[in-house]
């Protein structure tokens, strides 16, 4: 069987869905990176994939992805008790309702501040500016210090956090930029972790839990303190560099919501009739709109693991060491699951939450026990905060290239979504 690494790199998101259409229903066999691979999709496949008896992650992630997106020694590389103990850190920080509410409040404040800045400029690129405002918000919320006049530093940090996401799936200049960005931020945050540990005793920071209001670095209950004083399954504190990796695995995915926010702007531009209802402040509709943005637009094409033993999927043998792919983009556009899957329609989520293993832009399975992203609540909270405000923002969308290339991973509108004529007051505000 021919290796499909080059077709994957050239076709991006379209590769696996197209391969599945050509091969017909059921599991699809191929080769990637010289390894035999099998691709699955559907809610039953999600449950199968996230069962550690079927798929392991420890050795599945290639070094280029660890060196850019996740970081070496990250929670994504662990399995079993080690993974569950490390995952507890993220579940505690990111599933806390008060903490998520506090982050959303920081995001709202930064949006107001940013809109005032944009009003004094002839035009702004929304992707760049949203990444900066989310960086400011999540750093303030987490207790990661930025200078008193943080604009330059927040922009540098935002560029680095964006670069880590932007460069994980390419072998070109974006990849090397991502590696350099990770090295810079890991070194900076490792020093912060050491400072936090030196400044306070563990007894004053035991069992940290985030609060709605941000805390300074090293204060009890700050996110930074939670990471600094987390103990792994062996009872030991994380090495400073590993702690920095995991702190970045809170900051980086939050800033990655920039992609979904700009996709939301794209959806509003393409479907202006949806703007009025979203702007009205209906929280249920805002959440449904956020779900549909995550379903409709491309983010992660698939996730992968390795079969730890000889296993079987619906009568299909899978040999030990086979790469198992879960087709996220294909599942989110599967006509067996979604009516008119290539139509943007938030109504499909009004009055209902998607099933656990149905909508999988950020993976599936259980958050506490499996590898599902614990930051989905954060993603939805940030989107539900930003998208209604974007719908109310008085602005123009000048002529530009808004095409979204599927052969680029991760993708975004080519122009980054430029807006102009921003006013200081949102439409409908008093």
DSSP string, 150-181: -HHHHHHHHHHHHHHHHTTT-SSHHHHHHHHH
pLDDT digits (tens, 9 = 90+) for 33-53: 899 999 999 999 999 998 888
Q: Calculate the CA dihedral of residues 340, 45, 252, 113 and round it to 10 degrees.
A: 30
pLDDT beyond 50 at 325: yes
pLDDT of residue 424: 60
- Beta bridge mates, 326: 40, 303
pLDDT of residue 362: 87
Mean pLDDT of 73-102: 85
pLDDT beyond 80 at 106: yes
- Beta bridge mates, 420: 123, 396
Q: At what angle do helices 376-392 and 283-296 cross, to 10 degrees?
A: 110
pLDDT digits (tens, 9 = 90+) for 398-425: 999 999 999 999 999 999 999 999 986 5
pLDDT of residue 208: 41
Say if CB 136 and CB 144 are below 8 A apart.
Answer: no
Say if CB 293 and CB 330 are below 8 A apart.
Answer: no
Distance, in Å, from the CA atom of 256 to the CA atom of 263, rounded to the nearest integer, reads 12
pLDDT digits (tens, 9 = 90+) for 354-379: 998 999 998 887 655 555 667 789 99
Say if CB 418 and CB 125 are below 8 A apart.
Answer: yes
**96 or 222, greater pLDDT:** 222
pLDDT beyond 50 at 429: no
pLDDT digits (tens, 9 = 90+) for 154-170: 999 999 999 999 999 88
pLDDT of residue 212: 37
Q: Which pLDDT band holds residue 147 (cuts at 50, 70, 90)?
A: low
Q: List, as one string, the DSSP characters of 71-109.
A: -TT-GGG--HHHHHHHHHHHHHHHS-HHHHHHHHHHHHH
Distance, in Å, from the CA atom of 125 to the CA atom of 315, rounded to the nearest integer, reads 51
User: Residue 231 carries which DSSP code?
Assistant: B
pLDDT of residue 356: 86
Strands 123-125 and 316-318 turn out to be: unpaired
Q: Which of 135, 328, 148, 167 is nearest to 250 (CA)?
A: 135
pLDDT beyond 60 at 120: yes
Distance, in Å, from the CA atom of 167 to the CA atom of 245, rounded to the nearest integer, reads 17
Q: Is 208 exposed, middle or buried (0-12, 13-18, 19+ CB in 10 A)?
A: buried
Most confident of the ranges 62-66, 219-223, 390-394? 390-394
Mean pLDDT of 305-310: 94
pLDDT beyond 90 at 274: yes
**236 or 149, greater pLDDT:** 236
pLDDT of residue 15: 96
Q: Look up residue 267 and give its two tokens.
A: 């959806």
* End-to-end CA separation in angstroms for the chain: 64
Distance, in Å, from the CA atom of 188 to the CA atom of 403, rounded to the nearest integer, reads 36
Q: Determine the number of helices (DSSP H) and then strands (DSSP E) in the chain.
A: 16, 8
Q: List, as one string, the DSSP characters of 379-406.
A: HHHHHHHHHHHHHH---B--S------T
CATH architecture of 1-70+303-339: 2-Layer Sandwich (3.30)
Q: Is 124 exposed, middle or buried (0-12, 13-18, 19+ CB in 10 A)?
A: buried
Q: Which pLDDT band holds residue 201 (cuts at 50, 70, 90)?
A: very low
pLDDT of residue 80: 83
Distance, in Å, from the CA atom of 257 to the CA atom of 137, rounded to the nearest integer, reads 12
Say if CB 170 and CB 59 are below 8 A apart.
Answer: no
Chain CA centroid to CA 105, Å: 19
Distance, in Å, from the CA atom of 258 to the CA atom of 268, rounded to the nearest integer, reads 15
pLDDT beyond 80 at 427: no
Domain locations in the chain as residue ranges: 1-70+303-339, 76-299+361-430
Distance, in Å, from the CA atom of 380 to the CA atom of 290, rounded to the nearest integer, reads 6
- CATH fold label, 76-299+361-430: Cytochrome p450 (1.10.630)
pLDDT of residue 207: 39
């Amino acid at each position: 069987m021919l290796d499909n690494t080059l077709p994957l790199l050239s076709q991006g998101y379209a590769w696996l869905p197209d391969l599945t259409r050509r091969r017909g229903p059921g599991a699809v066999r191929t080769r990637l990176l010289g390894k035999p691979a099998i691709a699955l999709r559907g809610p039953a496949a999600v449950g199968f994939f996230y069962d550690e008896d079927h798929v392991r992650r420890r050795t599945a992630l290639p070094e280029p992805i660890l060196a850019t997106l996740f970081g070496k020694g990250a929670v994504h590389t662990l399995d079993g008790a080690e993974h569950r103990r490390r995952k507890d850190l993220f579940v505690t920080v990111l599933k806390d309702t008060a903490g998520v509410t506090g982050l959303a409040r920081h995001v709202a404040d930064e949006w107001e501040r940013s809109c005032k800045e944009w009003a004094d400029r002839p035009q702004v690129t929304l992707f760049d500016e949203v990444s900066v405002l989310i960086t400011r918000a999540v750093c303030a919320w987490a207790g990661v210090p930025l200078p008193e006049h943080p604009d330059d530093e927040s922009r540098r940090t935002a560029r680095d956090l964006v670069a880590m996401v932007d460069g994980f799936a390419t072998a070109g200049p974006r990849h090397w930029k991502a590696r350099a960005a990770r090295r810079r931020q890991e070194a900076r945050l490792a020093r912060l972790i050491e400072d936090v540990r030196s400044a306070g005793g563990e007894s004053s920071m035991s069992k940290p839990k985030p609060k709605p209001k941000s805390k300074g670095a090293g204060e009890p209950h700050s996110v930074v303190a939670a990471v600094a004083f987390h103990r792994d399954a062996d009872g030991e504190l994380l090495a400073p560099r590993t702690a920095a990796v995991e702190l970045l695995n809170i900051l980086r995915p939050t800033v990655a919501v920039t992609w979904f926010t700009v996709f939301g702007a794209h959806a509003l531009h393409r479907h202006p009739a949806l703007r009025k209802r979203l702007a009205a402040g209906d929280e249920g509709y805002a959440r449904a709109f956020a779900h549909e943005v995550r379903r409709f637009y491309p983010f992660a094409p698939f996730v992968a693991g390795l079969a730890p033993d000889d296993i079987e999927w619906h009568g299909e043998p899978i040999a030990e060491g086979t790469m198992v792919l879960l087709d996220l983009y294909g599942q989110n556009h599967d006509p067996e699951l979604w009516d008119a899957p290539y139509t943007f329609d938030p109504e499909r989520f009004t009055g209902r939450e998607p099933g656990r293993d149905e909508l999988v832009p950020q993976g599936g399975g259980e958050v506490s026990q499996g590898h599902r992203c614990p930051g989905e609540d954060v993603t939805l909270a940030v989107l539900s905060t930003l998208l209604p405000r974007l719908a109310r923002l008085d602005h123009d969308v000048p002529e530009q290239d808004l095409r979204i290339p599927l052969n680029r991973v991760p993708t975004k509108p080519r122009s980054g979504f430029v807006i102009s004529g921003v006013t200081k007051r949102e439409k409908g505000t008093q």
